[in-house]
Amino acid sequence: MAISLDDPKKFKPLVAQAHQLAMNALRPISRKYDRAEHTYPKELDMLAAMIDGVSESGAAGGAGAAGVRRDEKPDTQDDGGTRNGTNLASVMSIAEMCWGDVALLLSLPRQGLGNSAIASVADDEQLERFAGVWAAMAITEPSVGSDSAGIRTTAVLDGDEYVLNGEKIYVTSGDRADHVVVWATLDRELGRAAIKSFVVPKGTPGMRVDRLEHKLGIRASDTATIIFEDCRVPKENLLGSPEVDTKQGFAGAMATFDNTRPLVAAMAAGCSRAALDLTRELLEDAGVVVDYDRPAQVQSAAAARFLQLEAEWEGAWLLTLQAAWLADNRKPNSLEASMAKAKFGRVGSAITLGCVELAGTIGYSEAELLEKWARDSKILDIFEGTQQIQQLIVARRVLGLSSAQLK
């Protein structure tokens, strides 16, 4: 059976539209909001409304904050074969938007990482109830980074409500979003299996934004610390089943990551692709032409280095497409999602820094956006699970070992 590595034809209009939005709406204001940290980009309101309209019309092919729902059957074509769906559309469109600006993409209303959590874990009633919200995702704590199983924020059932207590840090869009998906444990003694996610509306008593962070990159995106003190939420806001299944363990929570990690890889794809495109133009202006029909070793050092960076990008992109395609067809993709995130997290930073080097003084100055992309790309190797955690997950999957066996 032949395998086509071309972009699916049905997504080409979506990708082209996303590229136009990135070029005409995001790229022109990129530097402005990098400098004006914590200032909300009001230009995004109209852009978000346009994206909502396209999504509702069905023209986007389902692109957006989609979820990995393992309990459903694969989408199939009339001929019985599998097809490219929402997850693949999402990674392709997100990559194009991040070609414009990663931080502005992260700041788009109703496209938060919490929306992907809702799409992955919520039941049908919750999907309908929370449709249209803008949800941030609160996982990280002062003493808990990538090891989400160590979460100490608690949720105690009291009548018809859960009472949340704890502190969450580095919450992307934590101040701007109208809802926050909070990860908390029902019972610390039961470990990973007791961790659940709760949808908390902004303004709920007992929930407050404590501070906003000043950051190396993605400055247009707000990153908040949120405190929960006897914060009461309806028990219906616990996503999915409230039952603690020690056999299933962390599977419900991991379904969220199976979805969001390819999306983060796609963000790295867009940011590093932008750096490659600009660097090729700058090299050509300097008289260095990259010839794709000649071996790298017979070209200039700069051209050879550029070809190496492009090869790294292509490999990471194929991993990302694979992870998304598996999700669309309801196939297990935890290994592939972590591989894509690990690969693009690492090479995305390597590519943007490599482009800064190739561009010399132009790359290091604010004359171009190369230095900004180098700063922005680093977070994509950190959030949603660091490089080291992804490698650990991949090793466990490949070797068939549990988290207790391989730490």
pLDDT tens digits for range 172-195 = 999 999 999 999 999 988 878 899
3-state helix, strand, coil in the chain (%, to 5): 50, 15, 35
What is the average per-residue pLDDT within 251-270?
84
pLDDT at 248: 59
pLDDT-based confidence at 33, cuts 50/70/90?
very high
What is the average per-residue pLDDT within 109-129?
89
pLDDT-based confidence at 65, cuts 50/70/90?
very low
CB 200 within 8 A of CB 164: yes
Which helix (H) or strand (E) covers residue 232, if one does?
Answer: strand 223-234
Question: What does the alpha-carbon distance between residue 389 and residue 270 come to, in Å, rounded to a whole number?
Answer: 23
Question: What does the alpha-carbon distance between residue 203 and residue 244 come to, in Å, rounded to a whole number?
Answer: 29
Within 8 A by CB and 6+ apart from 399, the residues are 406
pLDDT at 1: 40
pLDDT at 61: 44
Catalytic annotation on 384? yes
pLDDT at 79: 46
pLDDT in tens, 282-340: 999 999 999 999 999 999 999 999 999 999 999 999 999 999 999 888 899 999 999 99
Within 8 A by CB and 6+ apart from 6, the residues are none
> Which residue in 141, 310, 336, 384 is the catalytic one?
384
In the chain, the domains with their CATH numbers are 10-125 (1.10.540), 133-237 (2.40.110.10), 251-399 (1.20.140.10)
Question: What does the alpha-carbon distance between residue 93 and residue 87 come to, in Å, rounded to a whole number?
Answer: 10
Tell the burial category of 158 from Cβ atoms under 10 Å away from its Cβ (0-12, 13-18, 19+).
exposed
Q: Which residues pair with 156 in a beta bridge?
A: 163
